Structure 1
Amino acid sequence: MSILKIGGATVNQTPLDWEGNLKNITDAIQEAKSQGIELLCFPELAITGYGSEDLFLSRWYPDKSLAQLQKLLPYAKDITICIGLPVRIGETLYNCTAVLENQKVRGIMAKQFLAIDGVHYEFRWFSPWQAGKMTTLDFFGENIPFGDMVFDKKGITYGFEICEDAWRGDLRPGYRLKDRHVDLIFNPSASHFAMGKSAHREDLVTESSIALDATYFYVNLLGNEAGRMIFDGEILAAQHGKLLLKNPLLSFKPYQVRAFDFDKDAIPHEEAVSEHDKNEEFTAAVCLALFDYMRKSRSTGFVLSLSGGADSSSIATLVAEMVHRGIHELGLDAFLERAHISQLSSTENSTKAVVQKILTTAYQGSDNSSADTLESARCLAESLGATFYDWKISTEVSSYTKKIETAIGRQLTWDQDDITLQNIQARVRAPAIWMLANLNNALLLATSNRSEGDVGYATMDGDTSGSISPIAAVDKDFILQWLQWAEKHLGYSGLHKVNALQPTAELRPQEQHQTDEQDLMPYPVIVEIERLAIRDRRKPADIYLILKQELDISPVQLKKYIQKFFRLWSRNQWKRERLAPSFHLDDFNVDPKTWCRFPILSGGFTEELRELDRLDE
């Protein structure tokens, strides 16, 4: 028989939604009780949400968090609850986990290592707790033990590593917990989603169960909490190096509860099923992120300028897939209720009807647009069920062009004014599509990808216009292969025409046969340069020496590509500063508000590119 039934509860929280957050927590507690769970762990900062940002700097916000904790005490009957919240002692704020039992706070444990890399800035708000240190907290007139401690229940001792604590190698608190002979270690986390990250977490959990000689239990936050970061709601348990529990990730539900029968003397035989596919992870993450962004912003849908090309088509497909997955998991009525969308009539009772209600698209053709892209956009929209409009922008382009020609006293030509004539087509598309978004109380979806963000291949206030930029954190090469995958594996036959087209902005006259890769360089090359320059932070000469061995490109051409990348990267930081908010989806991104900060004005790698030129001389 099991000695102790333990559980993890992931919750989809929102900063400042005190009532909603508390309901998710209490509903999860009730679910845990119905499953017979005796010891339940919630994620890091579950009471407030991890993405509260500078709200953590105020005095009232942590105080209100403690008041919310007090409201949970009546629920801590016949169950022990471990839950994360910010706690201030004096002038210092700590990231903590409180343990509630018998309707009292048994103690509060504080995080010892703070995340300060990538998308995390915890040192801006919190201070690390010193290992071994203990003090007390005045909790509404009662002194509560506070600091580095372990707990016990039914003869089982347990402790905590809060998220980043577990990733600090030999310094991690888990080794001190091992010295204290704990049987069980919880890791309440707010670990952002990135493709491939779940596999690393599984390794952490299984390896920790061996290295720390304890059952290791991990529980993460869920959903697009505050706009950019996505949490996958992962719950994992491992014992003796075997993964015994893993839940479905990226759920549309407000919470999930999973249980595990803990017996420290048992030898596990069966392991949990674990599958990882980058395309599936991307799809699930963006679908949930779009759903949460829509409902949390109290919008009732999305509007998209559908060009028939890869980027806008991928976004349209992801919105449709969001509807399919949400309805499949929640049911039609619950999906609409959770999304704050009015119920459908009996004649509209279908998934396609919901897509039509939620997604409005428009093809805005110029004189340089082709019949191929119009047909591609129309076929895709019809196959998805999206509302589709088609209009021309030629009159608006002509009007603006004539005004400028009259003002400067000459005619604009493609030889002399190429960028100007390209950009006006992109920019005049923005007002009309914004009008549709306003009319529908909808979010306008921007279509930039990360490769375009790298080199500024986007028209500011044109195709960059939007409320959210769903694919701005992934490269164009990934999007192109994902579209092929979605057509084949998700069954979106409407992508067939999209996948047959070569990516092009269609902003120059058709006889010039404009393509994206002719304007820039092959997308796979951008990916390789970006990986080394942005993710790994290497200088141009180093990148050349590495890629010279890896890519089948002449040294002269490779130098030109690297030089072009760095020059375009340097001069286009101002564009990246103004891109619509994007979801963090990969192990890095170029969003200056999250992962990659770069000066708007700089010397543009002038000396570093001279060094590159001198190589091989």
Structure 2
Amino acid sequence: MTAIKIAGATLNQTPLDWKGNLERIVLAIQEAKSRKVEIVCFPELSITGYGSEDLFLSYWYPQKALSQLGKLIPYCTDITVAVGLPVRIQDKVYNTVAVIENGKLKGFVAKQFMAIDGVHYEFRWFTPWEANQVIDFEFEGKKVPLGDLTFNHSGIHYGFEICEDAWRGKVRPGYRLHDRKVDLIFNPSASHFAMGKTLERKELIEYSSKIFNCYYCYVNLLGNEAGRMIFDGEILLGKSGELLARNQLLSFADFQVITFDLEAKTQEIAAVQPKEWEFVQASALGLFDYLRKSKSKGFVLSLSGGADSSTIAILVAEMVRRGLSELGLSTFVEKLNLDFVPQTENPEKELVGLLLTTAYQGTKNSSDDTFQSAKYLAERIGATFYSWSIDEEVASYTGKIENAIGRKLTWDQDDITLQNIQARSRSPIIWMLANINNALLLSTSNRSEGDVGYATMDGDTSGSISPIAAVDKHFILQWLRWAEKNLGRSELSYVNSLTPTAELRPLERTQTDEKDLMPYSVIVEIERLAIRDKRSPIDIFLILKDELELEEALLKDYIKKFFRLWSRNQWKRERLAPSFHLDEFNVDPKTWYRFPILSGGFTEELDQLDQI
């Protein structure tokens, strides 16, 4: 087999950005040509972006994608290009890869298996292609083959598995490609980021290249494409069970072209980073793309001095740090469309001040500890910091209700009401600040709070984007300690010394999150089994009674509390601001776990716990 140079090219695309999407593909092709690449493979649905949702169902959208393909072909002379797009044939839409060789369209390969788990709803838009089927498809007045195809280039026989195709075990297309004696399989993908997922892909590429005895090249999309899913831009090459090359994930670049010599030798293999690094890098990139693609001017954050809001403040600061490091000052500023000229020798801190505005909104129930934590953190990272009391607003709302109902509200009788009015009173004024700044309001709820409804609607859930809503509180607390040490964020010393608390009850009532709920470490274990693994309450008890050092009666109480609060608070999860998908699962009903708003609340299942 002739030794040639191939490339995987990852792209940060945006649905409906036809001009920008095409330009990024063309620039990547030009770079590949300059590096003497003979075959370059782009990710799945590169022309439109994967996150086009129900646009795929229209007639005009796939047709527009084909017209963009026509514009792209003239740039593909002296190179072979594989690029993804949707193709409509009558009432069916197919997820395809177009193969262009030296300026001529050679055919379309159609995806055979649709992803329908977790964040994926591909069967809503696409029809699976049947194995071994090939038809003629008319493109610009000429017939080209479409279906289950392979191709040849300089003595190299190659084919495709498109994303989900590779995850289907014994029925995956790779086995038929092996029977056809291909030398190389490309896998153009749109595989959402999740912490630790790269290890699964590494195993897939090693396994696939071994059982098919070929080169296997994986190419993923990049960036926060459409709001929720983040793509990590991973590119991998394997041969005969050995990983030969891997790039570093989560680049801030518009595109990356990673070249390989098609030889069985180890090339550059980037290290696999820990989950804590992946979390900060993915969140930073997600915030950067969300900011620039929404054409907003910055972020506003109600900074309480606690773990959640402090995490988000650091993520914005890391967005600036990492973006400047990778892109440089001029490109970073240009991509965010900022009018910025540095006035000091620390443009990073200046930019944080320009992009992040924070406010500590205290009440008589707030402590000096959280105020100092918020103030110190904001000052150290450079964020604009305000502080004010909302006692007057709370008193006004409370007084009006008391006059209306003819009695005073008390903590013994009206605990939840008096807590919630404080959280809700913070929302209108922080929204004013966001509107004044033409900025995105960052909401601070985490996944553990989403599980049990430990959040005030139109309070701490209020916002334009919820960066950590898909991450559990146990991880956040661990990450903050990791970040203080490993990111050099000594400004986190205050928050890491505090016990998580909502600070909504009077200080003498010593409110803490875990006293209100249960230990966050227990919530994580119940959640993992109940939501990720979809286990019943009894299953969960039988598993955890051997794993956790808890009295059985207490464990049953925790399980009952979780399921009752989960069922009661689905309406809150339905109203959460858009959140990034960062972990292996989340509780957003729009992107991972659907649950009825009204239900029987596991009554029979929880009663059965007392019988074992």
- TM-score with structure 2 setting the length: 0.99
1:314 partner amino acid: T
The 5 A counterparts of 1:529-608 are 529-608=526-605
Deviations 1:463-499 (A, max 9, x none): 1100000000010000000000000000111100000
Asked if the contact 1:443/1:467 (under 8 Å) is kept, the reply is: yes
Q: 1:157 maps to which residue? A: 157
CA distance in 2, matches of 1:232, 1:269: 22
Residue deviations 1:529-577 (CA, integer Å, cap 9, x gap):
0001111111111111111100011011111100000000000000000
Residue in 1 aligned with 2:297?
Answer: 300
Q: How far does the alpha carbon of each residue in 1:422-471 deviate from its partner, in whole angstroms, 9 at most, with x for none?
A: 00000000011001100111000000000000000000001110000000
Counterparts in 2 of 1:324-363, with a 5 A limit? 324-347=321-344, 350-363=347-360
Task: Spell out, residue by residue over 1:365-384, the C-alpha distance to the aligned partner (whole angstroms, 9 max, x if none).
Answer: 01100000000000000011
1:518 deviates by 0.3
Alignment counterpart, residue 465 of structure 2, candidates 463, 468, 473: 468
Is contact 2:248–2:271 with CA below 8 Å preserved after alignment?
A: no
Tell me which residue corresponds to 1:121: 121
Unaligned runs of 5+ in 1: none
Deviations 1:355-406 (A, max 9, x none): 0000000000011000000000000000110000010001001111111111
- Matched with 1:310 is 307
Report the alpha carbon displacement of residue 349 of structure 1 after superposing the two structures with TM: 5.8
Secondary structure at the aligned position of 1:404 is classed as helix
Is the contact made by 2:62 and 2:86 (CA closer than 8 Å) also made in structure 1? yes
The reply on whether 1:78 has 2:78 as its aligned counterpart is yes
Partner of 1:244: 244
In the alignment, is residue 226 of structure 1 matched against residue 223 of structure 2?
Answer: no
Report deviation, 1:104: 1.4
**What SS does structure 1 have at the residue aligned with 2:146?**
strand
Partners of 2:156 and 2:2 in 1: how far apart? 12
Are positions 1:68 and 2:29 aligned together?
A: no
Aligned to 2:145: 145
Matches within 5 A, 1:15-34: 15-34=15-34
Determine the structure 1 residue equivalent to 2:316. Answer: 319
Residue by residue, what CA displacement relative to the aligned partner does 1:332-356 show, whole Å, maximum 9, x if unpaired?
A: 1100111121222444761000000
Q: Distance in 1 between matches of 2:344 and 2:121?
A: 50
Instruction: Identify the range of structure 1 (439-448 vs 241-250) with the bigger mean alpha-carbon deviation.
Output: 241-250
* 1:170 and 2:167 matched: no
State whether structure 2 residue 269 is matched by structure 1 residue 277.
Answer: no
Distance in structure 2 (CA, Å) of the matches to 1:312 and 1:473: 14
The superposition leaves residues 53-108 of structure 1 with CA deviations (integer Å, 9 ceiling, x where unpaired) of 00000000000000000001111111000000000112211000000112111010
Aligned twin of 2:389? 392
Residue 257 of structure 1 corresponds to which residue in structure 2? 257
Q: Distance in 1 between matches of 2:495 and 2:344?
A: 31
Paired with 2:178 and 2:317, the residues of 1 have a C-alpha distance of: 48
Q: Is the 8 A contact 1:44 1:190 kept in 2?
A: yes
Amino acid paired to 1:572: N
Superposition deviation, residue 268 in structure 1? 2.5
Cα distance in 1 between the residues matched to 2:341 and 2:383: 15
State the distance in 2 between where 1:484 and 1:83 align.
43
Instruction: Return 5+ residue gaps in structure 2 as ranges.
Output: none
**2:281 corresponds to 1:287:** no
Match of 2:606 among 600, 605, 609: 609
Distance 1:273 1:75 in 2: 31
Q: Distance in 2 between matches of 1:270 and 1:191?
A: 23
Conservation of the 8 A alpha-carbon contact between 2:366 and 2:504 = yes
Confirm or deny: 8 A CA contact 1:242 1:271 kept in the other structure: no
How far did residue 239 of structure 1 move? 1.1
Partner of 2:135: 135
Equivalent in 520, 524, 535 of residue 521 of structure 2? 524
Contact 2:245–2:267, Cα closer than 8 Å, also in 1: no
1:196 is aligned to: 196
Mapping of residues 376-387 of structure 1, within 5 Å: 376-387=373-384
Q: Note if 1:478 corresponds to 2:475.
A: yes
Cα deviation, 1:231-254, whole Å, max 9, x if unaligned, reads 000011011222111111100000
What secondary structure is seen at the aligned counterpart in 1 of 2:357? strand
Residue 357 to residue 269, structure 1, CA distance change in 2 (3 Å): closer
Q: Specify the code of the residue in structure 2 equivalent to 1:110.
A: A
SS at match of 1:428: helix
Aligned length: 612
Question: Deviations for 1:156-196, whole angstroms, at most 9, x for unmatched residues?
Answer: 01000000000001100000000000000000000000011
Instruction: Report the Cα distance in structure 2 between the residues aligned to 1:228 and 1:545, rounded to whole angstroms.
Output: 35
**1:13 touches 1:225 (CA, 8 Å); kept in 2?**
yes
CA distance in 2, matches of 1:4, 1:345: 46
Please report how far the alpha carbon of residue 150 of structure 1 lies from its aligned counterpart in structure 2 after TM superposition: 0.4
Is the 8 Å Cα contact of residues 529 and 540 (structure 2) preserved in structure 1? yes
Contact 1:221/1:233, CA 8 A, preserved across alignment = yes
- Letter matched to residue 201 of structure 2: R
The question of whether the paired residues in 2 share the 8 Å contact of 1:223 and 1:230 is answered with: yes
Matched to 2:499, the amino acid is Q
CA displacement at 1:583 relative to structure 2: 0.4
Mapped partners of 1:107, 1:147: distance in 2: 8
Determine the C-alpha separation between the residues in 2 that align with 1:273 and 1:172.
28
Letter in 1 for 2:370: T
Structure 2: which amino acid aligns with 1:86?
A: P
Q: Is the CA contact (8 Å cut-off) linking 1:120 and 1:594 kept in structure 2? A: yes
Contact 1:333–1:343 (8 Å) recurs in 2: no
Q: Distance in 2 between matches of 1:495 and 1:194?
A: 25
Q: Is the 8 A contact 1:299 1:442 kept in 2?
A: yes
Maintained 8 Å contact 1:94/1:129: yes
Query: Matches of 2:446 and 2:269 in 1, distance apart?
Result: 35
Question: Runs of at least 4 residues of structure 1 off by over 3 A?
Answer: 345-349
Q: Following superposition of structure 1 onto structure 2, how do residues 12-51 of structure 1 map, counting pairs within 5 Å?
A: 12-51=12-51
Identity between Structure 1 and Structure 2 (%): 68
Cα deviation 1:107-140 (Å, max 9, x = unaligned): 1000000000000000000000000001011101
Once the two structures are superposed, what CA deviation does each residue of 1:571-594 show, in whole Å capped at 9, x if it has no partner?
A: 000000000000001111000001
Q: 2:3 matched to 1:3?
A: yes
Residue in 1 aligned with 2:455?
Answer: 458
Shift of 1:269: 5.1
Tell me if structure 2 keeps the 8 A contact 1:311–1:447. Answer: yes
Give the Cα–Cα distance (whole angstroms) in 2 for the partners of residues 390 and 298 of structure 1: 27
CA distance in 2, matches of 1:65, 1:383: 47
RMSD, aligned α-carbons: 1.0
Which amino acid letter does the alignment assign opposite residue 246 of structure 1?
A: R
1:270/1:255 CA distance change after superposition, 3 Å: closer
Amino acid corresponding to residue 98 of structure 1 in structure 2 = A
1:366-385 matches, within 5 Å, as 366-385=363-382
Pairwise CA distance, 1:272: 2.2
